[in-house]
């Protein structure tokens, strides 16, 4: 996590040339590799991943009982919690010591994550209304938004557009990865829903592995979680 990140900081503009080579030349996608490595990451901290997933589920369930205000609260709180998974996985990638409190460091990126979640929800909903396919395109294309915000402390719109451009270069291969994760989570749901405690964090770990393989992490040094 970037040093100096603050909850109500809009984030920063990143030189778009950083991603030009990736967007122009493309990349390979290996869903089975990502899922296998994601599983290894999940297993390394399985207990903490599961407990944190329970926390997210409880928070979401409580907010769901408060009607419109609850929906808005969910939109505000869940993205930073989701980002907590990303921060922990990135720390593990870098060989850093992880404490359970690190799962809550996503709130240091509260504003860009909230704005990204809000705008993506609106655009995806509009896309679903427009014959569904545009919505599916956007769901997959925004796969790396939260990761870019955490990794680069990027402002929300640039993160959305950067993710869209990167994913679009090899959209169908990443769509396959998306479908694999959908199936994995459906299996988790069929296991009396309890399986989601494993499949949800596993999905995040898998996407993080894909991001590392395709985009690469922005820093060689340690993540700062202060």
pLDDT digits (tens, 9 = 90+) for 107-156: 999 999 999 999 999 999 999 998 889 999 999 999 999 999 999 999 99
Question: pLDDT tens digit string along 187-206?
Answer: 999 987 799 999 999 999 99
**CA angle (222, 95, 18) in 5-degree steps:** 50
Average pLDDT for 80-109? 96
Give the start-to-end residue ranges of the domains of the chain. Answer: 16-214
Q: What is the mean pLDDT of residues 170-195?
A: 94
Give 197's Cβ-side CA count (13 Å radius).
Answer: 14
pLDDT value, residue 72? 77
Q: How confident is the model at residue 65 (pLDDT cuts 50, 70, 90)?
A: confident
Q: Can you tell me the distance from the alpha carbon of 133 to that of 199, in angstroms, rounded to the nearest whole number?
A: 26
**Residue found by looking up tokens 């479908």 in the block:** 179
- What is the overall mean pLDDT for the chain? 91
CB atoms within 10 A of CB 208: 28
By CB neighbour count within 10 A (0-12 exposed, 13-18 middle, 19+ buried), where does 216 fall?
exposed
Place of tokens 């939109």: 75
What is the pLDDT at residue 149? 97
Write down the pLDDT at residue 1: 45
Q: What pLDDT is attached to residue 52?
A: 98
Say how far apart CA 89 and CA 155 lie, in whole Å. Answer: 21
Tokens 């294309």 -> residue: 141
pLDDT at 224: 47
Percent of the chain with pLDDT over 70: 93
């Amino acid at each position: 996590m970037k040093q100096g990140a603050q909850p109500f900081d809009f984030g920063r503009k990143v030189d778009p040339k950083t991603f030009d080579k990736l967007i122009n030349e493309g990349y390979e996608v290996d869903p089975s590799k990502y899922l296998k490595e994601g599983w290894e990451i999940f297993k390394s901290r399985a207990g903490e991943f599961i407990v944190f997933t329970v926390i997210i589920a409880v928070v979401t369930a409580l907010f769901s009982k408060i009607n419109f205000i609850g929906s808005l609260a969910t939109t505000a709180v869940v993205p930073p919690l989701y980002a907590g998974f990303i921060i922990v996985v990135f720390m593990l990638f870098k060989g850093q010591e992880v404490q359970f409190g690190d799962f809550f460091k996503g709130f240091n990126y509260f504003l860009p994550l909230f704005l990204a979640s809000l705008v993506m929800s609106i655009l995806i909903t509009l896309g679903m209304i427009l014959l569904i396919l545009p919505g599916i395109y956007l769901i997959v294309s925004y796969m790396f938004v939260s990761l870019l915000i955490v990794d680069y402390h990027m402002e929300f719109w640039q993160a959305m557009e950067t993710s869209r451009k990167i994913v679009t270069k090899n959209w169908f291969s990443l769509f396959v990865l998306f479908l694999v994760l959908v199936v994995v989570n459906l299996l988790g749901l069929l296991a009396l829903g309890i399986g989601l405690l494993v499949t949800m964090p596993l999905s995040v770990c898998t996407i993080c592995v894909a991001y590392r393989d395709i985009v690469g992490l922005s820093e060689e040094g340690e993540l700062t979680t202060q």
